[in-house]
Amino acid sequence: MKRKFPLYLLLTMLVASFAVSCDSDEVLTDPSQIIVSNGTGITSFSIKPDEDVLLNLDSVFFSIDLVNRKIYNADSLPKGTDVSGLCIDLECATSATVEVIQKGGTVRRDTVFTYSDADTIDFTGNVGLRVKAADGTEVYYSVKVNVHNLESDSLYWNEMARRDMPFASGKLLASKAVAYKEKAYLLVSSTEGGIVLSNNDNPYSYNWQKVEAQFGFVPNVSTLEATNDALYVLDENGALYTSADGESWSSCGVTWYSMIGGYTDRVLGVQKDGEAFMHDEYPRKSGFEQSVVDADFPVTESSPISLTESEWGAEPQGFIVGGITCDGKYRGDVWAYDGKAWAMINSKVLPSLAGMTVFQYVNYEKIADTMSYREHRAWFAVGGRNSKGEMNGKVYISRHQGLYWSVADQLLQLPEYITPACGAQALVFSKTLTRSSDGGWVSTPSKQLPVWARVVLPLGTRASQNVSEWDCPYIYLFGGVDEEGNACNNIWRGVLNRLTFKPII
């Protein structure tokens, strides 16, 4: 044991005479009844290296709460870590003695022994440290080595959390979901229910509100898109219509071959002029001029445009992946849009697929040679079909703003009970998890993420201090078409397990 005499502990000498002693049975003592005196403060705590248990075990950070006399690792160890025989290093005053008190462990039960950095401690039960200063003052610390019960970095899709499409009676024919004004807007077409537009600020609930849409035309359901301030859809003949509230719709006076997606305050599409395919936007900004679509550009069934922001650009950059070119070729390229022009930024980094679903979500990257993780944003691509009509069952990930892609880790792949689909949509909505009065945890809806970003996540949602609530982002996967060409009547909800864990306080 390394013993030091921290300078700040000298201040406690003034109150040493008020310290309260406890007997050996009180492993977890009421902290309000104890005053940390000179020589009883633990100033450093760590687990000694043990590669048989876990690599870089000594890098796990432990918080030391001198007020409440608690020592714990806020970032839990991976599921399955064996904590029944760990050696620890700790630092306190050189004149202090430390006893380890164990109760209810699986290997060592109800034992008390003098601390040595060579002795193993069983952290499967209750563990306490009794520190006795030279003046006879004793203080108890409860020690907890937290281990996850679930695979923390697994993307979990609860089979029981599946929902049917609202207002779809009979057979579902088509569906399309977009994020607009802090709500999910869902357009469905069914054999008995017809075409219905509805919205919901919490897609997991059944509280979908029907929008009294006065279309006055037959919308092509799969073309629904949203910008910052309007909804857009093409009719069966490609005429573009818009609405600010989903109820009143008006013609934009243009006809398009296909819809690409919303970009901030305008929607992007492809117009066919004779045999030529042209880039177009609505409303057209000052100075905009149509340009010919490149032969390798996907004119149909690319992923909807995804937007990323950077400190170097005045406007966000949008990108699409995959799709079918004007001559019918399936591509796996990444095309980017800077607010003025399109450019291919990487070729064939993904399989040649049409109808891939792309969304942004939180991902954690392990810091080399440590047990710490860095939170960042990553893009995920799922589903899609190839030129043979076969569905893609793999999940791909990009940690480089959509530029480079690779197959995601097995823990991030979709479960077998979710049928691979083409043309599905993924929206991310956050739910506020709160501590209820009885100690349980409940969830309540919170505001949807920014519409321009589609699914851009705010970082820092995990608790780093004593809190009673935090926002947890959930992925909602809507619809799509299966390998037989049938519309998928599903709304799935997924979440990274780590984001749902109750903050340790």
Are 339 and 331 in contact by the 8 Å Cβ rule? The answer is: no
CATH code of domain 155-500? 2.120.10
**Where exactly are the structural domains of the chain?**
2-144, 155-500
Q: Which residue positions in the chain have pLDDT lower than 70?
A: 1-38, 149-152, 310-313, 366-373, 433-468, 501-505
C-alpha distance from residue 361 to each of 289, 371, 376, 494 (Å): 35, 22, 9, 11
3-class DSSP assignment, residue 10: helix
Q: What tokens were used for 342?
A: 């399109």
**CB burial readout 473-497, b (16+ within 10 A) else e:** bbbbbbbbbeeeeebbbbbbbbbbb
Q: What tokens were used for 306?
A: 């995804």
What pLDDT, on a 0 to 100 scale, did the predictor assign at position 171?
96
Q: Provide the β-strand partners of residue 263.
A: 266
400-433 tens-digit pLDDT? 888 999 999 888 999 999 999 999 999 999 887 6
Are 224 and 196 in contact by the 8 Å Cβ rule? The answer is: no
Are 323 and 331 in contact by the 8 Å Cβ rule? The answer is: yes
**CB burial readout 162-200, b (16+ within 10 A) else e:** ebebbbbeeebbbbbbbbbbebbbbbbbbeebebbbbbb
Distance, in Å, from the CA atom of 219 to the CA atom of 213, rounded to the nearest integer, reads: 11
Q: What tokens were used for 279?
A: 């880039």
What pLDDT, on a 0 to 100 scale, did the predictor assign at position 251?
98
Q: What is the third-level CATH fold of 2-144?
A: Immunoglobulin-like (2.60.40)
What pLDDT, on a 0 to 100 scale, did the predictor assign at position 79?
76
What pLDDT, on a 0 to 100 scale, did the predictor assign at position 503?
55
Q: Which residues contact 387 (CB under 8 A, 6 or more apart)?
A: 330, 352
What pLDDT, on a 0 to 100 scale, did the predictor assign at position 313?
60
pTM: 0.71
What pLDDT, on a 0 to 100 scale, did the predictor assign at position 152?
66
